[in-house]
Amino acid sequence: MDLENPGGLVMRRANASDWAGLARIDSLAAAGDHARRASIRRWCEQGLVLVAEGASGPWGYSVLEYTFFEQGFVTMLMVAPTARRQGVGTHLLKATAAACTTAKLFTSTNVSNHPMQRLLHRVSWSPVGLLHGLDEGDPELFYLCPSAQLRDVVEAEG
């Protein structure tokens, strides 16, 4: 599979009607988590979602918000269980970095989420902090995207 564009993957901004399809590939939403389903719907309605789509439908999505100290933050990165370890997550992170309009882009994951940590390491994101207290017994690791992967925001603003 071509990791630069696995399976002819197309990246596009989600529209409000995409939420149900994304909920079907989201492991928590598909398992009946109503709060996650509501979040997916809200994110789609607000135009915050990038969708990685193959011929068979959505393979993954990312949510980019600017509520973390007014910097970009990848609130959610989800790849369908059947599409994992095929380059979809890498493709989504790169597309999200390219779409970011701030000088910095962050994300976080639980210490227990080793697959996400491996992905972030593979795409050269740097660990920048650890926060205790969000999930009992499972601290949150924060990461920063390399500035070379972001648009040249300073030049675009000037």
Report H helices in 80-135.
88-99, 114-122
Q: And the tokens for 23?
A: 């909920």
**What pTM does this model have?**
0.88
Query: What residues in the chain have per-residue pLDDT under 50?
Result: 1-4, 153-158
Q: And the tokens for 100?
A: 């970011």
**Neighbour-count burial of 105, counting CB atoms closer than 10 A to its CB (0-12 exposed, 13-18 middle, 19+ buried):** buried
Say which amino acid occupies 68: F
pLDDT value at position 6? 55
Q: And the tokens for 97?
A: 């970095």
**Of the candidates 27, 28, 154, which has an alpha carbon nearest to the alpha carbon of residue 101?**
154
pLDDT value at position 27? 92
CA distances in angstroms from 130 to 35, 137, 143, listed in the order given: 25, 13, 9
CA distances in angstroms from 83 to 1, 66, 67, listed in the order given: 12, 28, 29
pLDDT value at position 5? 55
